[in-house]
Amino acid sequence: MQRNPKILITGANGQLGQVLTKALRDRHGKSSVIASDINQTSDSDEHYLFLDILNTERIKETIDDHGITQIYHMAAILSASGEWNPSKTWNVNFNALLRILEIARDKKLDKLFFPSTIAVFGNTTPRTDTPQDVPLLPETIYGISKTTGELWCNYYFNKYGVDVRSVRYPGIISYQSIPSGGTTDYAVEIFHELLQHGKYECFLEKDTALPMMYIDDAIQATIQLMEAPKADIQTRIGYNLSAMSFTPATLFAEIQKYLPTAQIAYKPDFRQKIAESWSQSIDDSRARTEWGWAHQYDLERMVKTMLDNLSTQK
């Protein structure tokens, strides 16, 4: 029988971690969800821990002290920042996962969540409607660490029965925080810059299509996957996940409906090459069939929701 969940979140101060922590606390109660990060939180939170994910002993102590039964391992260095320090990125993104998989096995945790990404795709991957099972030859160290991580998750499930579940997140769009270090970050920055300054300089070319998802859908997918019956989860690498796909020009045109005087300029930097190695759109039919994934937000709804939330924050 499944125990009442007692959850540890790593990387809880990140773009997804912050919103996931709140969603899981709303669901299970604050004391059932321990948030942790290597960066201190600005809130006073008695259920928050400073935790270095490479400190194996401290993670084990945390699990014992709090009776942890599930880990959502969200801590990671993203695609653009990863390129500045590949060996650190490998250590944080991959070596930490390996330790956590071993801890999950040793402590007999009920479940483990591993966030993967569209960065696992590369130049050998079909770029449109990318299927679930495709050749993966990622260009970035972030993509390499996540691809290898997916394979190790699959291995730990098959060999040791660790119930590890994973999705390949597209770019995530949220109003709660400004992400940093990713290639898809432009799709959040643009809202802040256009609302505050009326103009935005985009680091990708206007016609670079990428798969994207509104934060509420990403959180819904994560929790739905983790709560799905074990028998439904036939895929132990990251599930493809999709909601919308757009270019900077399409996103700008949609925002301009609300902010008609807004202006944009395009000045692509090194992130353009990363974006071009990723998929433009994703076939996520496996997730939809196996555990009932369905997105709620398209481009129009996402843009309206972002502008509504950010305008009331100002």
Judged by CB, which is closer to ligand AKB: 118, or 299?
Answer: 118
Main-chain dihedrals φ then ψ at residue 206, nearest 5 degrees? -60, -25
Q: Which phi and psi (to 5°) does residue 305 adopt? A: -65, -45
Nearer residue to ligand AKB within complex by CB, 118 or 226: 118
Q: Of 195 and 215, which has the nearer Cβ to ligand AKB?
A: 215
Q: Check residue 51 and report its DSSP letter.
A: -
SS3 282: strand
d(CA 22, CA 31): 12
> What is the crossing angle of helices 56-66 and 96-106, to 10°?
40
Is the backbone of residue 192 left (phi > 0), alpha (psi -120 to 50) or beta?
Answer: alpha
Contact in structure between 170 and 181 (CB atoms under 8 Å): no
**Number of helices and strands (H, E) in the chain?**
12, 12
Q: Which is nearer to ligand AKB, 62 or 183 (CB)?
A: 183
In contact, 287 and 238? CB cutoff 8 Å: no
Q: Which is nearer to ligand AKB, 182 or 262 (CB)?
A: 182
Shortest Å distance, C-beta 67 to ligand AKB: 32
Quote the least distance from Cβ 118 to ligand AKB, whole Å.
5
Active site residues: 142
Q: Which stretch binds ligand AKB (CB under 6 A): 29-37, 180-188, 279-287, 292-300?
A: 180-188
Query: Interacting stretch for ligand AKB, rule CB under 6 A, among 27-35, 40-48, 101-109, 117-125?
Result: 117-125
**183 binds ligand AKB, rule: CB under 6 A:** yes
Cβ nearer to ligand AKB, comparing 33 with 204: 204
Q: Which of 59, 71, 119, 307 binds ligand AKB (CB under 6 A)?
A: 119
Going by C-alpha positions, the residue among 17, 308, 20 that lies closest to residue 191 is 308
Spell out the alpha helix ranges (H) of the chain.
Answer: 15-28, 56-66, 79-82, 86-90, 96-106, 141-160, 186-197, 215-227, 248-256, 271-277, 285-291, 299-313
Burial (CB < 10 A; 0-12, 13-18, 19+), residue 169, is: buried
One symbol per residue from 58 to 97: x for binding ligand AKB (CB under 6 A), - otherwise; what is it? --------------------xx------------------
Identity of the residue, 163 or 193, whose beta carbon is nearer to ligand AKB in the bound complex: 193
Contact call for residue 118 and ligand AKB (CB under 6 A): yes
Tell which positions 140-179 bind ligand AKB, by CB under 6 A: 142, 169, 171
Query: Pattern 42-61, binding to ligand AKB, x per CB under 6 A?
Result: --------------------
Among all residues, whose Cβ is closest to ligand AKB?
182
Taking the complex as a whole, the smallest distance from the CB of residue 113 to ligand AKB amounts, in Å, to: 15
Position 219 contacts ligand AKB (CB under 6 A): no
- Euclidean distance between CA atoms 256 and 264, whole angstroms: 10
Least separation, in Å, of the C-beta of 186 and ligand AKB?
9
Selected range binding ligand AKB among 66-74, 86-94, 97-105, 116-124, rule: CB under 6 A: 116-124
For the CB of residue 268, give the shortest distance to ligand AKB in the complex, in Å: 15
Contact 113, 132 (CB under 8 A): no
Q: Which residues make up the interface to ligand AKB (CB under 6 A)?
A: 78-79, 117-119, 142, 169, 171, 182-184
